[in-house]
Chains A and B, each alone.
Chain A
Amino acid sequence: MSAPTAAKIRVLIAKPGLDGHDRGAKVVARALRDGGCEVIYTGIRQTPEMIAEAALQEDVDVVGLSILSGAHLELFPRVVAELKKRGVSDVVLFCGGIIPEEDTKALEGLGFSAIFRPGTNTQDIVKFVYEHVQK
């Protein structure tokens, strides 16, 4: 999958909002690491501005947002808007956490290519990333 000096897929894993449980985000980060990605992990309590700025500075290919608080329809549009404001329009977006089925359409409309809910096999997330990024 990856020679030592070949280009690597860079993924930002971020947790917007105020909930402090980042086990899920860490499991996903770890799975992507084991899948050969370079994962920038920024920790909990990130504002939409901080996430967009990290995506810009780190020049990531993928942004994955983890949320458990239920504020996704509040926070995710703001993340997308902040990315756009910075001209970061070509990243692949996915999200995971506690996200009701009825919100799927709204998130797809925002540009999220996948939603991973509890019980997801982490290999499916790795596969998703490799299918959506050309390196």
Chain B
Amino acid sequence: MDDLVGRFLNGERRALARIISRVENETAEGREYLRALFPHSGKTHTVGITGGPGSGKSTLTGALAAEYRRRGKRVGIVAVDPSSPFSQGAILGDRIRMQDLALDEGVYVRSMASRGALGGLAPTIDDVVSIMDAFGFDYVLIETVGAGQDEVEIAGTALTTILVNNPGTGDDIQALKAGIIEIADILVVNKADHPGADLLVSQLQALLSLAPAGARRPPILKTTAIKGEGLEKLAGSIVAHREHLVSSGGLDRARAIDARHQVLAIARAILLEKIRRSYPEAELEALVQRVAARELDPHTAAEELAGAVS
């Protein structure tokens, strides 16, 4: 480990960028950096921003960051876009919507490709967020891949999760379904200058009124991110949610749950790697061929594979 850690701790953005790359590429060196910097993390407030493709996540993320800058806060942004399932390449285009922040020294924007992860994030997202946390940002905003109904991973990564909705995108039964709507700490109706915004707000309100008594009801806020409208209220609502987490003991609970989730996920990856290393590729190929030919069921095959390291 060169002097990158020292430069990082001195606030040098180039060192931050380089360390993130090493962590993202899951190198041994990256793990060393994470080990050195992890103790410096845990101070930032992480905010997840999720919602469908085209719902305005990037614009909202940029506008929220601008609001934080007006409040004198330093902001890190991680924006995830999908990797191609065929070439593993990606077009990362979220910066386009954040041009106003391009030269602001108090803002750092990093684009990440999903690299095959399911759930709207990237395999190393938690580690990358920890690194940004350690750098000393007051807020780290995490923008997911355009998410549909079931991409709930963000709730395990961010302390406050914002679900971005738009007017005119489905009736109230969509919102009644299980899944992504359940993880929202704050519901945002973005593009609120479009027709149907108030109708969507009242549908969401009606839906939330069905929640059991005593359950926290997420606030519903209208924004028109492209015009910078509604951001002050949103920023205030995030502060209120953090205060709620602190006073209810939810912050410690959330951290413990996230840590558990992270440790188990990493252990799973290590075990899989061990299995792959102790089970020759040719034999694996023969095994899966038998499953493909219906000679063997997939559970028996997986037991056989897992037996290689037990």
**A residues neighboring B (CB under 8 Å):** 2-8, 10, 29-30, 32-43, 49-50, 53-54, 56-59, 86-88
Contact = CB atoms under 8 A, between A and B. Distances in A.
B87 A36 contact: yes
B146 interface: no
Contacts of B149: none
B268 interface: no
Contacts of B92: 38-41, 58
Given A4-B115, A54-B95, A34 B87 contact: yes
Interface of B: 13-14, 17-18, 20-21, 25-27, 83-84, 86-93, 95-96, 99, 102-103, 108-111, 113, 115-116, 123
For B17, B87, B91, the residue with the greatest tally of chain A CB atoms inside 10 Å of its CB is B91
A4 B116 contact: yes
B111 A56 contact: no
A92 to B, nearest CB: 15
B246 to A, nearest CB: 31
Given A36-B87, A39-B90, A8 B113 contact: yes
A2 B113 CA distance: 14
Given A5-B26, A53-B102, A33 B111 contact: no
Given A4-B115, A54-B102, A40 B95 contact: yes
Nearest to B96: A43
Nearest to A49: B103
Given A43-B93, A86-B14, 15 more contacts: A6-B25, A7-B27, A35-B87, A35-B89, A39-B91, A40-B95, A41-B93, A42-B95, A50-B103, A54-B95, A54-B102, A56-B13, A58-B17, A58-B110, A88-B14
27 contacts: A4-B115, A5-B26, A5-B115, A8-B25, A8-B89, A8-B115, A10-B21, A33-B87, A34-B86, A34-B89, A35-B87, A36-B87, A40-B111, A41-B95, A41-B96, A42-B95, A42-B99, A43-B95, A43-B96, A49-B103, A50-B103, A53-B102, A53-B103, A56-B14, A56-B17, A59-B20, A59-B21
A50 B18 CA distance: 18
The 7 closest A-B pairs by CB, nearest first: A33-B89, A59-B17, A7-B25, A4-B116, A43-B96, A50-B102, A59-B21
B13 A57 contact: yes
A56 B17 CA distance: 7
Contacts of B18: 59
B40 to A, nearest CB: 20
A30 B14 contact: no
B89 A32 contact: yes
A33 B91 contact: yes
Contacts, number: 92
B11 to A, nearest CB: 14
B9 to A, nearest CB: 17
Contact of A2 (B88, B99, B109): B88
B127 to A, nearest CB: 13
Nearest to A44: B96
A32 B17 CA distance: 22
A8 B13 contact: no
A42 B96 contact: yes
A13 to B, nearest CB: 9
Contacts of B103: 49-50, 53
A42 B238 CA distance: 29
A24 B87 CA distance: 21
